[in-house]
Chains A and B, each alone.
Chain A
Amino acid sequence: MLWISLHLPRLSFESWLAVLPPEQREQPAALMGARDVLMCNPAAQRLGVRPGLQRVTALALAPQLQLGRIDAARDRQVLTSVAHVALAFTPAVCWAETSGPAAAPSTVLLQVQASLRYFGGLTPLLQRLRAALAPLNCTLQFASAPTAQGAAVLACCAGNGSDELHATDLPQLEGLLGAAPLWLIGTGRAQWAVLDSMGLGTFGALRRLPRPALQRRFGPALLDELDTVLGMRCEPPPAWITLPETFEVRIELQTRADTTDQLLHGAQLLIEPLLAWARAQQARVRRYTLFMHHERHRRQGEEVPVATELSIALAEASCDAAHLSLLLRERLAHLSLPAPTLELRLHCADVVRGSPHSAELFASARGEREGLVRLIERLQARLGAGQVQQLRPMADHRPECDAAFHAVSADAVGSASRQTGRRPSPARPAVPEPERSTAQRPVWLLDEPQRLAERQSRPLLDGQPLQLLCGPERIEAGWWDAQLAGRDYFIAQTPDGALVWLYRARLPLSVAEDAQGWFVHGRFG
């Protein structure tokens, strides 16, 4: 049995610091307890602020000091996301027991004996675990031991600037715990005053004394816990952490956010836990929704909703933090909020399970398709979904109706290029011979046919007389939708040699006054 423990010594401070805007994190900042400073950052330490100082003293030393409070819910969320990252490595993850019901846990335990063979040993496993936890930006201490409580204690006592402690078997564990202070375990902390006054501050000191005397003096609980830590007593099965079915997390920002950068910074703090939750199930995110809550006092008397909703759906499910935040940035740029927001909430219930395709070294059709899908998603996110269009030919003789433009959906393009692949299609010639059954149509069609002046019964385009070459092609269609078009089309040549497509009404007297005469409808490009 091998347990790894992850201890976060500065959990409360770092979870508060993450909520601040990036430019304020370098300023002096300190976490306050009831009346005194608990932790501070290097910028505050340079000004003389130390843990344990009174609040007024700290403010006198550093007037611009930013003060924060412990928020148990926020700490719990950070710890949960660390646990979710750990769940990608082993299914057996639990919290370390805390000394009392009021104290919040700050250590995550992983049982990795069954995963060692897959990852190739403890050292590669720890390396990958560190790499996976890096995006969360927390200070972590690692330790490993044959027992769960032993690993938890080792992680806590490794924090005084020393290297990580890893114990491979029980005697080594006992040796490493020799100098560990007793207030790291629950019963030790409860009786710490008595133990310390007797000079029994460490595990080693307690082990050297006879057991019946200790049991009479301190009660059986202390010895039981000591035996559990050192592996001489069975520990009860812990409560394993399970993944929730849907992902829901909320965060309260330090300052009101109403610009894209501030919103993006706040949303980034939610995307990393989302990806940790998705990766723990070997899944990728397909769709998530960001809710931006507005404050109650701003909502009174105006048409401001409780929360503004932004839903982001991906054509291709992905677990890439950079791609998700890029799409979010583009969509946030178009969003206009009715009021500033202080609280953000992320909800996700739509994931795709299964491993993604392998990456390739050389470009291939599938890699190109995925790249195209991402490109079209980006273009549609910035320009709008209707600006990236595809033609669809319609069966209509009227030239202005022979094609419909519709907004392309990214996965439709992906599937089209997947079908054709890289094989050249054999049956289609490069340029077909002109079919005499249907006459040539011009590539460019004007949105509205432009009326032409006439001189000596020849139409004029930009003052130049046109020479009719070919025609008439009679197109009469559209009797079914009140846009009857009865036209005779001619191909004409301008003096500089370009070809244009003109028409005039077939029955001039049956159309209105402004529809008689020559109209230019297209150019042969």
Chain B
Amino acid sequence: MLWRGDQMDSAVGRALPTGFATLDAQLPGGGWPRRALTELLLPHPGVGEIRLLGPCLTAIQQQGRLVMLFDPPAKLSAQALAQLGFDVAQLLVVHTRARVIPGSDSLWAFEQALKSGHVGGVLAWLPARLRADRLRRLQLAAQAHDGPAFVLRERAAQQRPTAAPLRLALCAGGADRLELKILKRRGPPLASPIVLTLPPVLSDALREQAWRRQRDTAQPAPQVVEHHAHEPSQVGSMTRSSRVEAMPLPAATFISLV
């Protein structure tokens, strides 16, 4: 065993930029957290979650690290992934529920990937109605994982507490638009949702037309909140509430998470 004295450790502990400035400003650390689970709640697959996570995961792949997907809900299209910038050679898909193995559960593979610490980023679709202690165990395993760990669950899990330090609820806010509500984060609660413009599928003209049509016909479009860029490089700015120009806290003691 030989250790060379000129080896340097790579800096760990920084959050990964999400690729959306308005979201970076609202997340503690200025991006997706490392070594912790990030929970995303979706009504159904296909609201724009892959385009939301795309900038972060493609950046990880460009560093030469592997991205693993666990139990994706449908088949993936290689051309669509290539259009988003993914490198399919650095992407692995693991199906854990194809065969029932006595004595083990379907989250074993996800836990092994987190504990190994060699995977760049993981994305897992968890089964419905997961017990809280299983999620707690995954959160503990994620501390060994140098990178973001995203778990995607159904919307109904919102009613139950979670061990993940960051919890977001996603829903589609129009064509190429994603509406994000931060349900739980390490910092003051955010009352109003964030609307992000995703990497577009439609052309600009068609997108405008679709937004206009939706505004006219359906319920009023969600309020577009623009946050000025606070200094996103300041870590821990979330914990000092005096720095945040957000909405004043509601008067009630209990914060409603809906």
Contacts and interface: CB of A to CB of B under 8 A. Distances in A.
B101 A391 contact: no
A493 B77 contact: no
B46 A444 contact: yes
Interface string A287-309: 00000000000000000000000
Interface string A403-421: 1010010000100110011
Contacts of A371: 116-118
B10 A363 contact: yes
B2 interface: yes
A345 B173 CA distance: 64
Contacts of A440: 80, 83, 200-202
Interface in A412-463: 413, 416-417, 420-425, 428-432, 434-436, 438, 440-447
B213 A383 contact: no
Nearest to A419: B64
B234 interface: no
B48 interface: yes
B73 A493 contact: no
Interface in A116-159: none
| Closest CB pairs A-B (n = 9) | A523-B46, A497-B172, A403-B78, A371-B118, A393-B78, A420-B64, A358-B2, A441-B80, A525-B50
B62 interface: yes
B112 interface: yes
Contact of B63 (A391, A408, A424, A446): A424
Interface string B71-110: 0111111111111110011111111101101011000110
Given A391-B91, A430-B55, A493-B214, A441 B45 contact: no
B112 A498 contact: no
A382 B111 CA distance: 13
A416 B90 CA distance: 8
Contacts of A369: 118
A360 B74 contact: no
Interface stretch (A7-15, A63-71, A372-380): A372-380
A497 B118 contact: no
A175 interface: no
Contact of A444 (B55, B58, B73, B199): B73
B90 A420 contact: yes
Contacts, number: 245
A430 B112 contact: no
A469 B99 contact: no
A435 B203 CA distance: 10
Contacts of B46: 442-444, 498-500, 522-525
B256 interface: no
B66 A417 contact: yes
Give chain A's interface secondary structure class.
mixed
Interface in B17-75: 19, 43-51, 54-55, 58-59, 62-66, 72-75
B115 to A, nearest CB: 9
A115 to B, nearest CB: 20
Contacts of A384: 98-99
Interface of A: 333-334, 358-365, 367-369, 371-372, 374-376, 378-379, 382-384, 387-394, 399-400, 402-403, 405, 408, 413, 416-417, 420-425, 428-432, 434-436, 438, 440-447, 467, 469-470, 491, 493-500, 522-525
B94 A441 contact: no
Nearest to B209: A469
A432 B85 contact: yes
A470 B206 contact: yes
A429 B82 CA distance: 12
B73 A498 contact: no
Contact of B48 (A422, A500, A525): A525
Contacts of A389: 92-95
A421 B61 CA distance: 10
B144 to A, nearest CB: 11
B124 interface: no
A391 B66 contact: no
Contacts of B89: 390, 416
